[in-house]
Structure 1
Amino acid sequence: MHDSPGGRRVRSSPDRPLHGRVAIVTGAARGVGEALAHSLSGVGMRVALLGRERATLLETAESLPGRSMCIECDVTDRAALADAARRVEVGLGPASVVVANAGIAVSGPFDRTAAELWQRVIDVNLTGSANTARAFLPQLAATRGYFLQIASTAAFGAAPMMSAYCASKAGAESFALALRGEVEPDGIQVGVAYLHWTGTDMLSGIDDDPVLAALRRNQPRPARRVHSATQVAQWLTRGIARRDRHVYAPPWLRWCQPLRPLFPALVARIARRELRARPGGAMSSRGEVLGAGGHADWNSYWASHSALPPDP
């Protein structure tokens, strides 16, 4: 049972645990967020799409099979998120599922990445996740709901040239694990999703990044596979329906957890070898935003600050 708009009680059957419930997906304008909105709507959820690109959000919302709403919102803006939470509760009902998916990435040497750009990755990926939880925890407490933090195998072993992204994803994982212990007494469950190579526009420049390309090239063949956003969304939906503490996309990643102490040394060895083979070359490039979604966020951020952004 859970509340719907107007206070009517809606019953979910055991074989359709998500049907009729309300889901929040941040970063829903494209990529995994867009695919997850489709997947959750397909199993009967009412979905609120939050993101920075209004036109793309509207297009996605209109294509969903079920009831939905979209809200243009910056997850680093606590006041905007609080307003979004109020609008969702009035328009769709209290949230039973909240997915902190919004994220951007930057590739390049730390000392050649604009400080504002590096900080923006941390603000969106880590602080934005905490802001999302803060805004929707009261609704999740009322529905005894589920909060899913989208993390990454970047939390398993930090890769050079991706310092902000790796730091933010490791931090987001730690945040979610800490939050889990705090909110379990309120009936809220917290999951962490670990995504590997996923076919979104954020990954489009992977072959141009010498370290990431080398890391992928040195992985076992099955681990090199790039999975579609649609497939990843299906794995996430399955984990959400089961309220899993850990969701792995692809599922075989669960067997990597016991090996995590080994990964930092392995990543460092591969990265060191690759960078030595390219003396000065890889480290001379500037830090750059990856993917159309990252560029949209970066440009919107600077537009709201009435300034020209540093060259990304």
Structure 2
Amino acid sequence: MSRPISGQVVVITGAARGVGALLARKLAARGARVALVGLEPAELAKVAGDLGADGAAWEADVTDGEAMARVAAEITGRYGRVDTVVANAGIATGAPFLDADPVTFDRVIEVNLLGSVATARAFMPALVAARGYYLQIASLAALAPAPMMAAYCASKAGVEAFAHSLRAEVGHQGVKVGVGYLSWTDTDMVRGADQDAVLRELRAGLPWPLNRTYPLGPAVDRIAAGVERRAPHVYAQWWLRGMQAVRGCLPSVVGLVGQREMRRAEPRLRATAADRRGLVGAGGQADEAIREVFRADP
């Protein structure tokens, strides 16, 4: 069941850039009151400045349960309620599992999966009170596992399963839960991954439509429409809906094709292994900077 988005209070995590920032602008243009949550105060301030008087931003690490509980209380106190939460915060790394930095690998799962859990835990009481909507941003990676992306695929498969379980638990309390799927979309994260020549070439070798980078605007338009519909599934690219029907076959196909491509790329991957031990994109760099601050001043 849809509700008019105008006047709704919408919380978006990972709102400093990319999908989160554009979604905030589009929903605000439709009359929503949008609360931004993220790590980059300067970028958050830019987005908040585009949202009008009803837009505001909170700096918080989604993996910090206490901080998220405080943010949820402050947002609820400011607006009086929360109607919709979009759990969008996410980071990525791209490297073979055996070459990956263990701390970076674990951080991807911590932010993408446990950060979503902390977001839901913080805001679900308000959503129950409002009979609201929780949209979990997942990915094509939840449907199709891929080499070089073990942490990201594991985390996105995890958030998909988490959201489906949550839907069954809170539906009788009036809360709708949706899962959003995106393929490669023109964000800082994807552009950051494409700076790695080996990763870029491996992705270019994927079959259509998996080998394309899709424009951000139309993808976010689809997500915004899904928020308005309170949809159980939201597909940022039209063809992703069809992937659901064949997802059971995909691990076997990827396993066969992936072995061939990894064998071909292995010499170059080994020669450049040191170049891909960190997080990709500007958002990943922001997360690494925050962790450096905490290591320096625990």
Task: Determine the C-alpha separation between the residues in 1 that align with 2:156 and 2:111.
Answer: 11
Q: 2:134 aligns with which of 147, 151, 167?
A: 147
Q: 2:91 aligns with which of 104, 110, 118?
A: 104
Cα distance, 1:112 vs structure 2: 2.1
Partner of 1:84: 71
Task: Determine the C-alpha separation between the residues in 2 that align with 1:140 and 1:179.
Answer: 12
Task: Determine the C-alpha separation between the residues in 2 that align with 1:207 and 1:217.
Answer: 16
Q: How does 1:37-52 map to 2 (within 5 A)?
A: 37-52=24-39
Q: How does 1:46-85 map to 2 (within 5 A)?
A: 46-65=33-52, 67-85=54-72
Alpha carbons 1:207, 1:213 under 8 Å: kept: no
TM-score (normalizing by structure 2): 0.93
Distance 1:182 1:212, change over 3 A: farther
TM-score (normalizing by structure 1): 0.89
Moved more, 278-287 or 17-26: 278-287
Say if 2:236 is the partner of 1:249: yes
Task: Determine the C-alpha separation between the residues in 1 that align with 2:64 and 2:42.
Answer: 20
Percent of residue pairs identical: 43
Partner of 2:218: 231
Say if 2:106 is the partner of 1:119: yes
Say if 2:194 is the partner of 1:206: yes
Q: Answer 1 or 2: which has greater strand percent.
A: 1
Say if 2:179 is the partner of 1:192: yes
Aligned residue for 1:193, secondary structure, equals strand
Cα distance, 1:282 vs structure 2: 1.5
Cα distance, 1:216 vs structure 2: 4.3
Partner of 2:269: 282
The superposition leaves residues 4-43 of structure 1 with CA deviations (integer Å, 9 ceiling, x where unpaired) of: xxxxxxxxxx997111010000000001010111111111
The superposition leaves residues 35-71 of structure 1 with CA deviations (integer Å, 9 ceiling, x where unpaired) of: 1111111111000000000011011100124611100
Alpha carbons 1:214, 1:274 under 8 Å: kept: yes
Q: Which runs of 5+ in 1 are unaligned?
A: 1-13
Aligned residue for 2:82, secondary structure, equals coil
Task: Determine the C-alpha separation between the residues in 2 that align with 1:97 and 1:105.
Answer: 25
Alpha carbons 1:214, 1:271 under 8 Å: kept: no
Aligned length: 294
Task: Determine the C-alpha separation between the residues in 2 that align with 1:275 and 1:223.
Answer: 17
The superposition leaves residues 266-308 of structure 1 with CA deviations (integer Å, 9 ceiling, x where unpaired) of: 2222321112123432145132311010110111022113279
Q: How does 1:150-189 map to 2 (within 5 A)?
A: 150-189=137-176
Partner of 2:288: 298
Distance 1:125 1:75, change over 3 A: same
Partner of 1:11: none
The superposition leaves residues 103-146 of structure 1 with CA deviations (integer Å, 9 ceiling, x where unpaired) of: 00011122222211111111100000010000000110011000
